[in-house]
Amino acid sequence: MTRATSFATRRGRAAAALRLLGGALRNRRRDVVALAVWSLVQAIPAFLSGRLIELAVDRGFLQHQLLVGFGWLALLAASFVAGGIAAGRVFRSLGNVIEPMRDQLARVVVEGSIRRSARLGLPVDRAGVARLTEQVEIAREAGASVLQVTQGFIVATIGAVIGLLSLIPAALVLVVPPVVVGLAVFAAALPRMADRQLESILADERAAEGTAAVAAGLRDVVAAGAEDRATSLVERHIDAQAVATRQLARLTAVRTLAVAAGGLLPVILILLFGSWLRSYGATTGAILGALTYVLQGVEPALERLVRNLGSGGVWLVSALARVLEASAESELDSAEGTPERPVDLDAGGKRRAGSGRVRVRRRGSALAIHNLTFAYSATAAPVIHGLELTVDRGDHLAIVGPSGAGKSTLAGLIAGLLHPQAGSVQIGGVDAMAARHHGSVLRALIPQEAYVFPGTVLENVTYLDAGAPRAAVDHAIAVIGAAPLVERLGGCDAMIDPAALSAGERQLITLVRAYVSKAQLVILDEATCHLDPDAEARAELAFSHRSGAVIVIAHRISSALRARRVLLLDGGAAWAGTHDELLQASPLYRDLVGHWSGGAKTPRGRATPAALRRALSMLGL
């Protein structure tokens, strides 16, 4: 990272973070005002203590007037009581400001993480959970401490300055300049400290990522005999972190000197110029009071401010920046508006004003793909290249091919989750990207990772159509073959604990969900991979008999045997046809199916699609 970019990103991060903090403060005006008011009350001891000690000593104890001395001290005690109560109130107000900020951050993180995870071709955003439990918490704690010490410093300094003014105005000349110089030195060191602290945090994160990568790929490291090379890749970050820590220590030493200059130099100056102050009429008590203001007011407040802004402030900014970065990125992906809102559209996919029930007039095939081309980046070879495909209503298509051939990519394109570089995808005559905004009215995509959430069985299976009649739900559960599972769980109204279900059971639930939906096109993207072959066959045939079309991305080649048509993908190229046609035409298909004539004849007596269908009808499907 060059100096220039680090400066720019630092400025950008700081600006964004401060905007967010500012927003949080503006939203809670009443609590911010309360915070300010109680802070002032909290400052009373800082303001009065020196003066009251002076009065107690000069008017009381030194004059042998014990009761007078006690009287002033009682006033001091009273001011401490007021200050103590105010300190408690300050914390409550602080909570009222900070907790809503945390709520807002949590919302940003949750939505951003889900959006980021939905991007195809990229790994899911596992860091989202860490952002929620770590970065948001860091921001919460650091935000509170920064607010607290900043207000504390302002209050203590103002209190002490007013107190000194009332005590020995001349002493201000000895106190204010060192404090200003100390703050200036600290302010000058702060940006560099912030940089080093960020470097240290980033180096830590890279070291953590590198370590996790070595652990995840240890088999490869050991097999290559490259243990030393692999560790050296991580050691760079470990060393960078150590360097940043050492540089930070140097800057911290500077900071400490700044605090000493600001907080302790006034003490020395007051002592050195004691006789000079006496010539201005300063009494014993006045000098004791002045020293009290500095030692108990200014110095601790300055030290807390410097320590907290130096570390807490940087943590706050970096944590907020991290949270904001992630959400900004994901907002770019979803600039399409709110997907849930039902919108009426005509066949061309144009939006029309209106609300309420969704009405879509469908025209043409269930799916029409024309000249579709897609690549994950400008330099990468296209995964899909000039694809033409039509799926009629009532059709049952299986997509097969080696892994990495673009099957899931095609599913994403059909579902409108990816923008094609060229060509068009139309679902019932509506553009796929527009169809996405109808939720699952036009199409439903069931991916391999079955998403079952903690809720009732009914809530889970009517996820795509909340108004589905109970009879339709029961029918779906029966035909998909989920009845024994639902019965075991305790019926449709029983709660599901997703962690207690096996992967196959979760898939059954999502299959029922797709069956219940209104979608005229259902895409099963390896959605049956954890089912056993019987259950898979049963589910696929149920969809085959459902009204509307089904596209099965095949995990096992047996899925192709059940389909009416098969689409074979292979490195950007594609062939469509019936099972028998592809057996004739494609050596790859023969290889995938296991028909191989290398040195032996094609084995006889295997199940043909027709034979399979007969067998299934005998099973009652």
Partner 1 sequence: MIAAGFTVVVLAVLDTALPAVLGRAVDSIFGNAPAAWVFAAAGMVAGLAAMDAADDLAVGFATARSTAWLRRELLRHFVRLGVSAPERYPPGDLASRMVGNATQAGRAAVDIVRAVANLLPALGAIVALGLIDPWLCLVVGAGMPLLVVLLRAFVRDASGLAARYLEVQGAIAARLAGAIAGARTIAASGTIHRETDRVLAELPQLHHEGLGLWRAQARIMTQQGLLVPLLEVAVLALAGVELARGHITPGALLAAAQYAILATSLTSVLPSLTRLVRARAGAARAWEVMREPTVAHGAGAAPRGDGRIEFRGVTVRAGDRALLDHVDLVIPGGALTAIVGRSGSGKSVLTGLAGRLADPDEGQVLLDGTALRELGHDTLRELIGYAFERPALFGDTIGDAIAFGVSTPSPGAVAQAARRADADGFVERLPQGCANPLAATPLSGGEAQRLGLARAFAHPARVLILDDVAASLDTVTDFRITSVLTTALAGRTRIVVAHRVSTASRADMVVWLHEGRVRAVAPHPELWRDAGYRAIFEPARLAPHPNGHRRGARTAA
Q: How far is the CB of 339 from partner 1 (least distance, A)?
A: 3
Q: How far is the CB of 15 from partner 1 (least distance, A)?
A: 26
564 or 613: CB nearest partner 1: 613
14 or 138: CB nearest partner 1: 138
CA-based torsion, 578, 538, 604, 570: positive or negative: positive
14 or 146: CB nearest partner 1: 146
Question: Which residues, listed in sequence order, are joined to residue 431 by a DSSP beta bridge?
Answer: 426
Helices 3-27 & 29-42, crossing angle to 10 degrees? 90
Q: How far is the CB of 154 from partner 1 (least distance, A)?
A: 18
14 or 237: CB nearest partner 1: 237
Three-class SS string for 379-395?
A: CCCCCEEEEEEEECCCC
117 or 390: CB nearest partner 1: 117
- Alpha-carbon gap, residue 524 to 515, rounded angstroms: 11
Q: How far is the CB of 288 from partner 1 (least distance, A)?
A: 5
14 or 310: CB nearest partner 1: 310
Q: How far is the CB of 370 from partner 1 (least distance, A)?
A: 22
Question: Which residues, listed in sequence order, are joined to residue 369 by a DSSP beta bridge?
Answer: 389, 425
- Alpha-carbon gap, residue 135 to 139, rounded angstroms: 6
Helix (H, G, I), strand (E, B) or coil at 32: helix
Q: How far is the CB of 547 from partner 1 (least distance, A)?
A: 20
Q: How far is the CB of 477 from partner 1 (least distance, A)?
A: 19
Three-class SS string for 132-199?
A: HHHHHHHHHHHHHHHHHHHHHHHHHHHHHHHHHHHHCCCHHHHHHHHHHHHHHHHHHHHHHHHHHHHH
Backbone φ and ψ of 185, nearest 5°:
-60, -45
Q: How far is the CB of 516 from partner 1 (least distance, A)?
A: 12
CB atoms within 10 A of CB 491: 11
Helix (H, G, I), strand (E, B) or coil at 357: coil
79 or 426: CB nearest partner 1: 79
- Alpha-carbon gap, residue 197 to 204, rounded angstroms: 10
14 or 270: CB nearest partner 1: 270
CA-based torsion, 228, 233, 238, 244: positive or negative: positive
244 or 372: CB nearest partner 1: 244
Q: Are strands 565-570 and 455-456 parallel, antiparallel or unpaired?
A: unpaired
15 or 271: CB nearest partner 1: 271
Cα angle value 22/28/29 (rounded, 5°): 90
**Strands (DSSP E) along 361-431, which ranges?**
367-374, 384-391, 396-400, 422-427, 430-431
- Alpha-carbon gap, residue 294 to 567, rounded angstroms: 82
Q: How far is the CB of 77 from partner 1 (least distance, A)?
A: 5
Q: How far is the CB of 67 from partner 1 (least distance, A)?
A: 11
- Alpha-carbon gap, residue 414 to 521, rounded angstroms: 10
Helix then strand then coil, in percent of the chain rounded to 5, is: 65, 10, 25
Tokens of 418: 């990816």
111 or 392: CB nearest partner 1: 111
- Alpha-carbon gap, residue 183 to 174, rounded angstroms: 15
Q: How far is the CB of 45 from partner 1 (least distance, A)?
A: 7
14 or 251: CB nearest partner 1: 251
Q: How far is the CB of 535 from partner 1 (least distance, A)?
A: 8
